[in-house]
Amino acid sequence: MSAITLRGIRKSYPNGPQILHGIDLDIREGEFIVIVGPSGCGKSTLLRLIAGLDREAEGDILISDRRVNALPPRDRDIAMIFQNYALYPHMTVRDNIAFGLELRRMPKAQRRAKAEAVAEVLQLTPFLDRKPGALSGGQRQRVAMGRAMARDTSIFLMDEPLSNLDNALRVALRTEIKDLHRQLGATIVYVTHDQTEALSLADRIAVLKGGHLQQFDTPDAIYDRPANMFVAGFLGQPAINFVPGEALGRSPHLTAGLRPEMLRLHASQPDGTSVQGRILMSEMSGAEVLIRCETTLGTMSVTCPRKALPPHTASFWIGYDANDALWFDTATGTRVAG
Ligand code: ADP
């Protein structure tokens, strides 16, 4: 069964430009979907429409195969988790989790039992009487999830939940969200502008640009077979190198995309295709080194296992296999081969 189906979603604000230009998505039950794209591309708008926080749009929104366009958020069987988790600082973990059940007129004893059962699943039992201020970031996030779970929903919408956190915590919580998803089997729709989060979390990624859906596929497919130059350039860090087709002996109407890990460094000129490069900058990141170099093809990024780095020298040769390259139509940006 489909968890969420979007058909022809168009959105504009009164007297404003169009924000979403006809979005179609079919999200299966239990999938972890990440909606990714640059700031302002319409991600939050789309999520708010799914949640029902905004109900002014064209098209159809189906949740569990039921059209919900006119329904307010509380009738949509979804739970939304925001950036700051929206926990009440003066309430205990137990009351934070149970919050919302009171609005549904559930008797007190039953609310307590429900909160405690949810806390058990989320390993929050030892913290039931604490207030959010005395919890770690990961624990707070679990309380927010707990509140959503107490409502017996199986669809979670998350809007940049990690964006306010420092890097170490972000990486830790990423793992935690992924574990929770595995454990709960819930459907998650997660919005972020961070391509690393998209690649590491998603079962499938929806890439948005300027309110247009660019591609909707698995992280592997998106990385290996990007639909166009925008997708190729947006996902992958360091970013893909674009080289004019002519430089690789092909038509000037084509652009080659070479990912940094497709390139090899050599101390002397290797057989086959290669260009000479001069190091502009090198940056060690543990097992790998990122090198920015100036070449006759333009400035290029190369990632190289540290052990495979040629002996220190300012200039060397960059080899590549033209068969690895992704090929794009230069005028439209669409991928045509590779
Ligand atoms: P994202 O989440 O991808 O950063 P948003 O969905 O928040 O993007 O915004 C998409 C576009 O809609 C932006 O250009 C933004 O300025 C515009 N926008 C968002 N909310 C409103 C509003 N209430 N009125 C007018 N324009 C808005």
Residue 208 is part of a domain; what is its CATH number?
3.40.50.300
Distance CA 317, CA 274 (A): 6
Tell me if 48 CB under 6 Å of ligand 1. no
Tell me if 13 CB under 6 Å of ligand 1. yes
- For the chain, which residues score pLDDT lower than 70? 83-85, 312-314, 338
114 & 251 share domain: no
Pocket of ligand 1, candidates 13, 36, 53: which has the most ligand atoms within 8 Å of its Cβ, to mutate?
13
Rounded distance from Cα 188 to ligand 1 centre (Å): 22
86 & 214 share domain: yes
Tell me if 45 CB under 6 Å of ligand 1. yes
Q: Which domain holds residue 247?
A: 241-336
Tell me if 36 CB under 6 Å of ligand 1. no
Q: Which of 88, 170, 102 is nearest to 130 (CA)?
A: 88
Question: What single DSSP character describes residue 225?
Answer: S
107 & 210 share domain: yes
Q: Which of 31, 62, 42 is nearest to 217 (CA)?
A: 31
| Residue 68 · residue 6 · CB < 8 Å | no
288 & 199 share domain: no
Tell me if 249 CB under 6 Å of ligand 1. no
| Residue 53 · residue 211 · CB < 8 Å | no
Tell me, what's the pLDDT at 55?
Answer: 93
Question: Whole-model pTM?
Answer: 0.90
- Identify the residue whose C-alpha is closest to ligand 1 atom 15: 40
87 & 210 share domain: yes
112 & 132 share domain: yes
How many separate domains does the chain show? 2
Distance CA 331, CA 245 (A): 12
202 & 262 share domain: no
Q: Which of 206, 234, 262 is the endpoint of a domain? A: 234
Q: Which of 184, 206, 234 is the endpoint of a domain? A: 234
209 & 293 share domain: no
271 & 220 share domain: no
Rounded distance from Cα 154 to ligand 1 centre (Å): 27
What backbone torsions phi and psi does residue 174 show, to the nearest 5 degrees? Answer: -60, -45
Tell me, what's the pLDDT at 84?
Answer: 64
Rounded distance from Cα 42 to ligand 1 centre (Å): 6
159 & 114 share domain: yes
98 & 124 share domain: yes
What backbone torsions phi and psi does residue 169 show, to the nearest 5 degrees? Answer: -65, -40
Tell me, what's the pLDDT at 101?
Answer: 82
CATH number where 313 lies: 2.40.50.140
10 & 136 share domain: yes
